[in-house]
Structure 1
Amino acid sequence: MSTGLSPNAAKLGFKDLKGRVAIITGSTRGIGRECALALARQGCNIVVAAKSTTETPNLPGSIYTVASELEALGVQALPFKLDVRDADSCEACVAKTVEVFGRVDILVNNASAL
């Protein structure tokens, strides 16, 4: 019987993530983007939470471009402008996630700030 997981995820003992909801901070590029793509491939809906709302030549990727990539994989994606240094911004991100998806199952706290 197939679990719907990739072979590597199944080997690690991951449970089925289809329909789960993940907030991933710093998810417009690098490790955060790769986490978002990996979870989306497992059927997880993603909140793309980061500061980048536009791409630049030096900083490719934005909350909108990554959300589009994830939606192309067949999941729902919510772009959210987030500053992890601001408690109100963090609370608003969780509130919007619950408003849209009804819950939060996973948090990947990948963003860093100086």
Structure 2
Amino acid sequence: MPINRTGAKPLKAQILDELRQRLASGEYPVGSKFPSLRALAVEFGVAELTAQGAVQELQREGVLEAAAGKGNFVMMLPTKESSADAPEGPACAELEKLRAEVAELRERLEVLEAASR
């Protein structure tokens, strides 16, 4: 998808939409390594910081997870609610709490696994 640099939609949002579409289509299946920030920046013709914003949003949604020194991995497919237009409210706040707890548990598990090696 070419980026529309003269459109009203921010570059980060355009990249995010394209990445969500690719994830939903199966181009990046669950468990696969996601392209690096550098690769995304080159592909879309933007600064790495712009690509990073889109990737961070996918991480916040729980779609991607960063593995230290290894890159980002697809953890789940984006849901229809995964968008800047998604409604806010108590359910969303509760979901964010759960995601934070899961992320914390994953970190603890990684530490335990590393210690047992």
TM over 0.5: no
Q: TM-score range by the shorter chain?
A: under 0.3
Q: Which has the higher contact order (CA 8 A, sep 6+)?
A: 1
Mark the structure with the bigger radius of gyration: 2
- TM-score between the two structures when normalised by the length of structure 1: 0.26
| Higher strand proportion (structure 1 or 2) | 1
- TM-score between the two structures when normalised by the length of structure 2: 0.26
| Higher helix proportion (structure 1 or 2) | 2
